[in-house]
Amino acid sequence: MSGERWLAVVGLGEDGLDGLSPAARRLLAQAAFVVGGRRHLALAGPLAAETLVWPSPIEDALDRIEAWRGKSVCVLASGDPFFFGVGTMLTRRFAPAEMIAVPVPSAFALAASRLGWSQQDCALLSLHGRPLEAIIPHLEPGARILALSWDDATPWKLAGLLTARGMGRSVLTVCEAMGGPRERVRAAHAQSFALDNVAALNTIALDVVADREARVLPRAAGLPDEWFEHDGQISKRDIRAITLAALAPRRGELLWDVGAGSGSVAIEWMLADPANRAVAIEARHERAARIGRNALSLGVPALSVVTGAAPHAFGDLPQPDAVFIGGGSSAPEVVERAYDALRPGGRLVVNAVTLETQAACVGWRAHRGGELAQIATAYAEPVGRFTGWRAAMPVVQWRLTKP
C-alpha cells in the first residue's frame, strides 16, 4: 500500500477470505495493524498483524488507528463499508485520499438476489441502533423494504408492529448469515410470525400488505388531527397543510417548531424527507411528553424535543433553515430572536389567531417585509335536521424569506 493511501477498508462476507478479491487479500496480508469485530477477525484469520477488536464506543478506536498513520492499516467491515458501515465514521477523521476501500456485496444486495427483487425499487434501511418506529413512513401497500436488523429480536418486534398497524398479512423474509455455509432464508406472515432461533446477524426483506383499515401515512402534508394525541393545542389539518407549504421543507433542512403543542408541524416537516430534522420547543412538560409519543407513533423518533419557554429555550440550538411560530408563542422577543437565528434564505412562518397577534404580524411585515395571508376555513355540520357551514377562527399567516 502506498504511503498516501495507508488505510485500507476491506469489506468481508460470511465466506471470509474466499470471497475477497486478490487486491483485497493483498491489502490484508501486508497490513501491520488490523481492526475489526471479533467475527471479522476470525473470518480473516489467522493474522500475523497486530489486531484490535472494535471497542465500545466504536469511535474510541480512531485514536489507535491514528497512531499508525502512514503505515499499513486494514479495517475489516461487513459487506460494503460505505453502506450503513464504518466507512463514513472513518472519513470524519481521515481524508478519502488516505484510504482505499474494497467492498464486497452488501447484505442488501445479497437479500435482493435471494428473493429476485430489484434493489432500486426497495427502501433500504438500517434498524441497527435505531428505533424500530423509523420504518413506519415506509410502510405502504406493495412496498418492498430491506432492513438490517439490530438483533435476533428485531423480526419479532417488527412483526408485532405490522400486525398492530393493520399490516399483519405482510411477509417477512429473514435472511441469516448470507453468503456463508450457515446461510438460511425463511419467510412468515407478520400476524403468525413464529420463526425460532433467529441469528443475531440477519437482514429482513419485507413485502408490505396493508388491510383496508391500516394506517398508511400519505405523502402530502395534512395528516388527520385524530392521528395526533393532543389537548386541543394543534395546528388543524388544513391550516397545517398550508403552513407546511409556506415552510417549504427541503431535503436535510432543520426546522424550529416554537410552541409546538402536539408537535404536528415538526412531525410533518420530518415526514417530508427522511433526512429532515426538527426541534420541537414546548414550555409545558405534559405537552413535551405528548410530542415524543406522537413522534414515535408517526415514525419520526429522531424528532428533538426541548422543554422550555421561548426565547430562552433557543439556547445553543443549531441554526435553523426554517422556523414556525404558533399563535401562542408569538411574543415580539420570540419572533425577533427566531428571525436573528434563521439562516440567510431561511423561511419564517407565524400563525396568528388573536386580533392582537394579527396586528403584530402587520407591524412585523412593515418592518421586515414578507407577505400576509388570511386563511379562513369552514366545515359542514348538522343544523337541526339540515347541514350548514360552521366557520373556524380565521388565521393570519405572516411568512417571509430572510435575505
Percent of the chain with pLDDT over 90: 96
Query: Mean pLDDT across the stretch 51-61?
Result: 96
Euclidean distance between CA atoms 19 and 23, whole angstroms? 12
User: How confident is the prediction for the chain on average, in pLDDT?
Assistant: 95
Name, in order, each residue with C-beta under 8 angstroms of 171's C-beta and a sequence gap of 6 or more. Answer: 187, 188, 189, 190, 206, 207, 209
Query: Mean pLDDT across the stretch 180-189?
Result: 95
Q: Taking the C-alpha atoms of 306, 312, 316 and 318 in order, what is their torsion angle to the nearest 10 degrees?
A: 60
Q: Is residue 330 predicted with pLDDT exceeding 90?
A: no
Query: What pLDDT, on the 0 to 100 scale, is given for residue 398?
Result: 97
> How large is the greatest C-alpha to C-alpha distance in the chain, in angstroms?
88
Give the residue among 192, 157, 322 at the shortest CA–CA distance from 251.
322
In a 10 Å sphere around its CB, with 0-12 CB exposed, 13-18 middle and 19+ buried, how is residue 285 labelled?
Answer: exposed
Euclidean distance between CA atoms 277 and 360, whole angstroms? 29
Continuous segment of H or E residues that includes residue 350? strand 347-352
Give the residue among 26, 23, 31 at the shortest CA–CA distance from 7.
31
Tell me how far apart the terminal alpha carbons of the chain are, to the nearest angstrom: 50
Domains of the chain and CATH, by start:
7-104 (3.40.1010.10), 108-207 (3.30.950.10), 225-401 (3.40.50.150)
Query: Mean pLDDT across the stretch 181-208?
Result: 96
312: which 3 cell numbers? 430562552
Model confidence pLDDT, tens digit, residues 281-302 = 999 999 999 999 999 999 999 9
Give the residue among 261, 378, 389, 377 at the shortest CA–CA distance from 325.
261
Count of C-beta atoms within a 10 Å radius of residue 226: 8
Model confidence pLDDT, tens digit, residues 65-82 = 999 999 999 999 999 999
Q: Is residue 400 predicted with pLDDT exceeding 70?
A: yes
Unique residue bearing C-alpha cell 428473493: 115
Model confidence pLDDT, tens digit, residues 114-152 = 999 999 999 999 999 999 999 999 999 999 999 999 999
Q: Buried b / exposed e across 121-143, counting CB within 10 Å, b at 16+?
A: ebbbbbbeebebbbbbbbbbeeb
Model confidence pLDDT, tens digit, residues 300-319 = 999 999 999 999 999 999 99
Q: How many CA atoms lie within 13 A of 290 on its CB side?
A: 19
Query: What pLDDT, on the 0 to 100 scale, is given for residue 205?
Result: 98
Phi/psi-derived region of residue 292, left when phi > 0, alpha when psi is between -120 and 50, beta in every other case: alpha
Contact 147, 135 (CB under 8 A): yes
Contact 172, 123 (CB under 8 A): no
Q: Is residue 1 predicted with pLDDT exceeding 80?
A: no
383: which 3 cell numbers? 343544523
Q: Is residue 2 predicted with pLDDT exceeding 80?
A: no
Q: Buried b / exposed e across 183-193, counting CB within 10 Å, b at 16+?
A: eebeeebbeeb
Q: Count of residues for the chain?
A: 403
Name, in order, each residue with C-beta under 8 angstroms of 366's C-beta and a sequence gap of 6 or more. Answer: none
Euclidean distance between CA atoms 371 and 201, whole angstroms? 54
Contact 281, 320 (CB under 8 A): no
Model confidence pLDDT, tens digit, residues 370-398 = 999 999 999 999 999 999 999 999 999 99
Three-state secondary structure call for residue 7:
strand
Query: What pLDDT, on the 0 to 100 scale, is given for residue 334?
Result: 95
Give the residue among 95, 116, 100, 264 at the shortest CA–CA distance from 185.
116
In a 10 Å sphere around its CB, with 0-12 CB exposed, 13-18 middle and 19+ buried, how is residue 47 labelled?
Answer: middle
DSSP calls for 66-134? HTTTTS-EEEEEES-TTSSSTHHHHHTTS-GGGEEEE----HHHHHHHHHT--GGGSEEEE-TTS-GGG
Model confidence pLDDT, tens digit, residues 228-267 = 999 988 999 999 999 999 999 999 999 999 999 999 999 9
Global pTM value: 0.92
Contact 128, 202 (CB under 8 A): no
Give the residue among 106, 103, 141, 140 at the shortest CA–CA distance from 124.
106
